[in-house]
Amino acid sequence: MGYYMRYISFDSQPIDLGTIETALKQIDAAYHVRVSDIPGLGELFHGEFSCGEIEINGSEDDIFADDITEFRELVGEATTLHEQHVLDVLNQATWMVAVETFWEGDQSEAVLSKIDPLWDWLFINRKGVLQADFEGFYDESGVIVPRNFMI
């Protein structure tokens, strides 16, 4: 079973795997995306190290709609400003970048550190929030709505 992280956005700027690969290569030339035959799906690499499967889903995709519905239910009634912010993003969301990672033993930090530049770039260049399984929702400052859950 994999560990999912999703950047959920309502930003009007388009996003695709080519844009992501170009952005990450500017950070470190070792990044590359092996694009699948399925549109919006690929595998993210740092050198020969597989960081995980990467997928871009839009509001027309069933998986996008299902995830957004599930996240709204998990946040529930917004009782804090941060929860309201997350609900606002979820209600306006038009796309998400999802990464599914895999690791063995205590390799989680090594794997996740290779993906962090992607989230950093998205926070700087696209409006949205990051959702991480078992952790909750993040903005650029860190966790803003903690949750102990998994989809």
**How large a percentage of the chain has pLDDT more than 70?**
94
Of 23-37, 74-88, 92-106, the poorest mean pLDDT is in 92-106
**For range 106-123, the mean pLDDT:** 88
**For range 106-118, the mean pLDDT:** 84
pLDDT of residue 149: 44
For the stretch 71-84, pLDDT in tens is 999 898 888 999 99
pLDDT of residue 1: 53
Distance CA 97, CA 22 (A): 15
Q: Is the pLDDT of residue 14 over 60?
A: yes
Using DSSP's 3-state secondary structure scheme, residue 120 falls into helix
